[in-house]
Amino acid sequence: MTDPTASDRDVPEPVVPEPDVPETQVAEGPVSEASVPEPQVSETGVPDPPSKAKLAWATLAALVVAGVVLVSAVLPAEYDIDPLGIGEALGLRVLANPVGGAIPVRADGIIAHGSSYRVDHMTFELEPGGFVEYKYRLEEGRSMVYSWSASYWVRSEMHSEADGAEEGTAQFFEVEERTLARHGSYVAPFPGIHGWYWLNETDDTVTVTLDASGFFSTSIEFRSEVAPIVREMMETPDSAAWRPFF
C-alpha cells in the first residue's frame, strides 16, 4: 500500500497571490498630541480678535489710500491744489478752475419770485347768447401759462385793462371769431387785470374749461347783470411754498 501521507508531502502547495493593498506612508516615530495644531478659540467659542499689530497695519493702509485719493483727486478738483500733477493729467483741475474764471451768468431770461405760482381750474356754462369774462390780477412783468377749450364754437377775446385806465377801455392781444381752444403763455406788459371774454353765439349751451398757472394773486369773473365775483388765488403745486406775496 502506498502511504497517503508521503504522497501528500510530494504535492506542492498552490500559491495564492496576495491582493494589492496601497501602501500607507506612516511617519516614523510616535505622533504626539502636541504636533497637531488646534485653532485658537476662546473659552466662549468665539475666535480670538486680530492682534493689535494687524489692526495697526490695516489702519495704516486705509490712511495711505485715503491720502492718495485726497492728494490726487480731491485737492485738484475742489481747491486747484495739485502737488503730484495727477489732477492735471486726469483733467480734474478744470473743475476747480473753469476756463475764463467765473461762469458768466445772463441777467435776462429768469424772473425770480418769493412765492410759488398759483394754479387755477375753472368751468363756465354759457347759455345761448350768454357770455363770461374772466381775468387775473397780474403785476407788470409777471407771467402765466394757460389752456382753455370749449365744447362748441365760441367767440374769444384775450384783452387787458391797465390800472388807472378809463372804464370800458382795453388793450387786445387776440380776437377769434370762432374757435374751440387756445393755448399759450402771457407776460403782463403793465399792471392790471388780464384775461378772456367768451361769447356763445349758438343755439345750444356751451361749456368752457380753463386751466391756468401763473403769478396772479386774484381772479375776477364778470357776467351779465351779476356783480363781479373776486376770488383770491390760493392753490399752489406746493402748499409749503405759498406766500401772500410774490
Strands (E), 163-239: 171-187, 192-199, 206-214, 218-223, 226-232
Provide mean pLDDT across the span 26-50.
58
> What per-residue confidence (pLDDT) applies to 65?
87
Q: How many CB atoms lie within 10 A of CB 43?
A: 5
Spans of all domains in the chain:
52-96, 118-241
> Rounded mean pLDDT of the chain?
82
Alpha-carbon gap, residue 113 to 224, rounded angstroms: 36
Residue 39's pLDDT band, with cuts at 50, 70 and 90, is low
CATH code of 118-241, in short, is 2.60.120.510
**pLDDT digits over 183-223, tens only?**
999 999 999 999 999 999 999 999 999 999 999 999 999 99
Residue 43's pLDDT band, with cuts at 50, 70 and 90, is low
> What per-residue confidence (pLDDT) applies to 54?
84
pTM of the full structure: 0.59
Residue 10: pLDDT over 60: no
**pLDDT digits over 64-114, tens only?**
888 888 777 777 777 677 777 777 777 666 566 666 666 788 888 888 888
> What per-residue confidence (pLDDT) applies to 2?
47
Judge contact between 218 and 139, C-beta under 8 A.
no
Task: Give the closest residue to 182 by CA, choosing from 173, 171, 193.
Answer: 173
Q: How many CB atoms lie within 10 A of CB 147?
A: 13
**pLDDT digits over 218-235, tens only?**
999 999 889 999 999 999
C-alpha distances in Å from residue 72, one per residue of 92, 98, 128 = 9, 18, 77
53: part of which helix (H) or strand (E)?
helix 52-69
C-alpha distances in Å from residue 194, one per residue of 28, 114, 131, 136, 209 = 109, 22, 17, 5, 17
Residue 43 CA, chain-centre distance (Å), reads 53
Task: Give the closest residue to 114 by CA, choosing from 217, 231, 219, 190.
Answer: 217
